[in-house]
């Protein structure tokens, strides 16, 4: 199976610069597995280096404990601090925890600015979106298409919320309404966007699902993810499935610096995934564009 190579030189040292936005239901599950993957591929290998930043201003609330990786001791702590301390200590990594919401390009620029970068490494910037609002996705799309970074992998995970029947309690649902609610909240998608030298090879989530960019009612988070979940509940099984698919994409990048799939639509209820692979036409054009760089 062929895909797109995100590092074009053989036997070169690699520096992964990873920024994760969102530490809620999808994000907490993804973060733990991400550190496990980093430990698997990079620990003790001087050819591989990592910088990992996680960003979110939400604090842990009691209501978060059922479907996010937090416990009672974390309540009232920033989610990023709780995750960074627990899993950073466990896997032996220093995590850059930023308890803020991302609301402008300048902040994203700073998150991807390294005070020091070792010579001889091939830097791979990776932006991970684990958010539940389209306004943040619009900003991440703007950053992806900006000139700040010539190369960028942007992976976004999104899930469907459980359908709510207004002004009714569950025991008041009709049979049709009950079925509609029971079958909702299991679907979602993960989209891998990729650009190299400012040429977009895989469009990011906002260009795949154009309603994201046209959503004028969305806004940056002003409340905790827990409050949002009251209005749009999410199923833990769906959150974990979205995180696992995102982790699988990252695992391939760590393993051989390859992206094989562009869009993955999934349904956690039936454990099904419908992948859209990188097309042969894009693979061929990509290989021709960067032909010979592996030998440099």
Residues 6+ apart with CB under 8 A from 26: 130, 132, 157, 159, 239, 242, 243, 246
CA dist., res. 6 & res. 14, Å (int): 11
Closest Cα to residue 23, out of 112, 130, 132? 130
Report how far residue 192's alpha carbon sits from residue 221's, in angstroms, rounded to the nearest whole number: 23
Specify the number of domains making up the chain: 1
Tell whether 135 is covered by a domain. Answer: yes
Q: Give the pLDDT confidence score for residue 51 in this predicted structure.
A: 93
Domain span at 168:
13-295
Q: How many CA atoms lie within 13 A of 109 on its CB side?
A: 8
Rounded Cα–Cα distance for residues 92 and 90 (Å): 6
CA–CA distance, 215 with 206 (Å, rounded to integer): 10
Report the alpha-carbon distance of residue 184 to residue 189 in Å, rounded: 14
Whether residue 2 is contained in a domain is answered as no
pLDDT reported for residue 230:
46
Specify which residues 69 forms β-bridges with.
none
**What is the phi-psi region of residue 171: left when phi exceeds 0, alpha when psi lies from -120 to 50, beta otherwise?**
alpha
Residue 6 in domain:
no
- pLDDT, tens digit only, all 296 positions of the chain: 589 999 866 657 899 999 999 999 999 999 999 999 999 887 667 788 899 999 999 999 998 888 898 999 989 999 999 999 999 999 989 999 999 999 999 999 999 998 788 788 899 999 999 998 999 999 999 999 999 999 999 999 999 888 888 888 888 888 898 888 888 889 999 999 999 999 999 999 999 999 999 998 888 886 444 444 345 688 999 999 999 999 999 999 999 999 999 999 999 999 999 999 999 999 999 999 988 765 45
User: Has residue 5 been placed in a domain?
Assistant: no
Distance between CA atoms of 149 and 105, rounded to whole angstroms? 12
Q: What is the pLDDT of residue 180?
A: 87
User: Does residue 29 belong to any structural domain of this protein?
Assistant: yes
Q: What is the CATH number of the domain that holds 114?
A: 3.40.50.720
Tokens 């998150």 locate to 111
Name 157's bridge partners. Answer: 190
């Amino acid at each position: 199976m062929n895909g797109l190579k995100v590092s074009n030189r053989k036997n070169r040292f690699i520096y992964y610069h990873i920024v994760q936005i969102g530490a809620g239901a999808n994000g907490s599950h993804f973060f733990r597995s991400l550190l496990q993957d980093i430990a698997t591929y990079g620990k003790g290998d001087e050819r591989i280096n990592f910088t990992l930043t996680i960003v979110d201003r939400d604090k842990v609330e009691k209501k978060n404990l059922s479907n996010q990786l937090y416990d009672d001791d974390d309540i009232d702590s920033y989610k990023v601090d709780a995750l960074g301390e627990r899993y950073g200590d466990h896997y032996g990594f220093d995590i850059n925890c930023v308890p803020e919401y991302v609301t402008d390009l300048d902040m994203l620029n700073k998150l991807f600015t390294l005070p020091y970068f070792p010579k001889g490494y091939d830097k791979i910037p990776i932006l991970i979106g684990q958010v539940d609002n389209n306004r943040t996705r619009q900003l991440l799309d703007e950053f992806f298409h900006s000139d700040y970074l010539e190369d960028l992998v942007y992976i976004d995970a999104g899930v469907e919320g459980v359908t709510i029947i207004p002004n009714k309690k569950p025991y008041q649902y009709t049979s049709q309404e009950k079925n509609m609610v029971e079958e909702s909240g299991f679907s979602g998608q993960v989209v891998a966007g990729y650009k190299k030298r400012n040429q977009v090879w895989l469009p990011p989530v906002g260009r795949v699902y154009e309603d994201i960019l046209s959503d004028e009612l969305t806004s940056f988070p002003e409340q905790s993810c827990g409050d949002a979940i009251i209005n749009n509940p999410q199923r833990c099984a769906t959150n974990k499935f979205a995180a696992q698919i995102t982790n699988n994409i990252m695992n391939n990048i760590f393993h051989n610096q390859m992206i094989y799939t562009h869009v993955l639509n999934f349904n956690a209820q039936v454990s099904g995934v419908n992948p859209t692979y990188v097309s042969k036409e894009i693979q061929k054009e990509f290989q021709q564009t960067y032909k010979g760089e592996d030998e440099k």
